[in-house]
Amino acid sequence: MAFNNSQRYFPETRMRRMRADDFSRRLMRENRLTPDDLIYPAFVIEGQGVRETVASMPGVERLSIDLMVKQAHELVSLGIPAIALFPVTPAEVKSELGEEAFNPDGLAQRAVRAIKDACPDLGVITDVALDPFTTHGQDGIIDEQGYVLNDRTIETLVAQAISHAEAGADVVAPSDMMDGRIGYIRAMLEEQGYVNTRIMSYAAKYASAYYGPFRDAVGSAANLGKSNKFNYQMDPANSDEALHEVALDLAEGADMVMVKPGMPYLDIVRRVKDELKVPVFAYQVSGEYAMHMAAFQNGWLDERSVMLESLLAFKRAGADGILTYFAVRAAQALN
C-alpha cells in the first residue's frame, strides 16, 4: 500500500501500538493521580478516645479530637495535603439561629487548633454552613414559613468563618449556597488581617439525593426531616447556571471553587475548568462512597482498581483536587 501523507489510516496508524507495552502506556498517559490530589473529609465529635462507626458509610468513623490528631499524623505520613473537618454537633447546643457555629471554643474550632498544633504543615479546611448547628437542619436561618433568609444567614456565616480563621484554619469553605456570602467573608477576613486565609467556595453545589449518608454522619438528617434544600442549592438539571454561580464567587474573592457532588457532575467540572481556568475541586460525596462500598463488600467490583479509576476520572475531567472518603486507602495504594 502506498503511503499518502494527506491521510493516516490503518495500517499506517495503529492506535494499539502505544498500548502494547507498559513503558509506552506510561509515556503517553495524559492524567496521573497522586496523594497530592486528595483531601480527606473527617467527622469530629466530642469526647476523649471516642470512635463511632457510620452505618451508612462502611469504613468511615466519627473521631474525637485526640483520635483526629492521630489521623492527621497518618495523613501527613501518606502525603495527603489537607483535611476537611465536619463537626458532629451535640443536640443540646443546636438552636434555631445556630449560634454554636461561631463559638470560639466550639468543637470545630478546638479541632482546628489541635490539628494545627500537632501537624502545622497539614492544610486544614473548615466547613462554613449552619446545618450542623440548627435545630431545623437547614444551612441558614429560617423565617416562620421555613424559608432560608439569605442576608440574615450571611451575618452568621461571616462570624463562623472568622472564628475558624482565628482558630488557625488555612481554608474556609462556605458550602451554604447563600448569594453574596463570599464577598462578605472575604471583606471581613481582610479587615481582620487574615489575608492569607483561603476561600474554597462550594460554588456549584446541587440539591442532590446523594448526600444522605453525610447527613447521617453529622447528625442533621433527623433535624431536616422531610424538608429539602431546593430553594438555595442548585437544580440538578442545570449546567449554565453553575458557570454563573462560579463566576460570581470568583468575582467576590474565592480562591478556588468546588463542584458537588462529584462523578454524576463531572461535566460541570469540565465546563468550569475549560471556560474559567481556575482551581477546581470536586467532592466524591457520601452517596457515591456508599454505593462503591456496597459493591466492594458484595464482591461485585474490585475495590482497589475501581476506587483508583473513580478518582482518576475526576482528574481527567479537570479537577485539581478531590475530597474523598477513600483518601487514606487511595494514598496507601498509590504509595
Q: pLDDT-derived band of residue 266, with 50, 70 and 90 as boundaries?
A: very high
What would the mean pLDDT of 247-264 be, rounded to a whole number? 98
Q: pLDDT-derived band of residue 221, with 50, 70 and 90 as boundaries?
A: low
Query: Does 245 count as an annotated binding residue?
Result: yes
Bridge partners (DSSP) listed for residue 205: 260
* Cα(82)–Cα(68) distance, integer angstroms: 13
pLDDT at position 3 is 53
Other C-beta atoms closer than 10 Å to the C-beta of 2 total 3
List the one residue out of 215, 198, 199, 234 whose CA is nearest residue 285.
Answer: 215
Q: What is the pTM of this model?
A: 0.94
The catalytic site residues sit at: 205, 260
Cell 466519627 locates to: 62
Do the Cβ atoms of 39 and 84 come closer than 8 Å? yes
* pLDDT of 7 strictly over 90: no
* Cα(42)–Cα(88) distance, integer angstroms: 10
- By the 10 Å C-beta count (0-12 exposed, 13-18 middle, 19+ buried), 158 is classed as buried
- Mean pLDDT estimate for the chain: 95
CATH superfamily of 32-334: Aldolase class I (3.20.20.70)
pLDDT at position 4 is 58
Per-domain residue ranges of the chain: 32-334
In terms of pLDDT, which residue wins out, 249 or 226? 249
* pLDDT of 6 strictly over 80: no
What would the mean pLDDT of 305-322 be, rounded to a whole number? 98
DSSP character string of 102-170: G-TTSHHHHHHHHHHHH-TTSEEEEEE-STTTBTT--SS-B-TTS-B-HHHHHHHHHHHHHHHHHHT-S
**Per-residue model confidence as pLDDT tens digits over 74-85:** 999 999 999 999
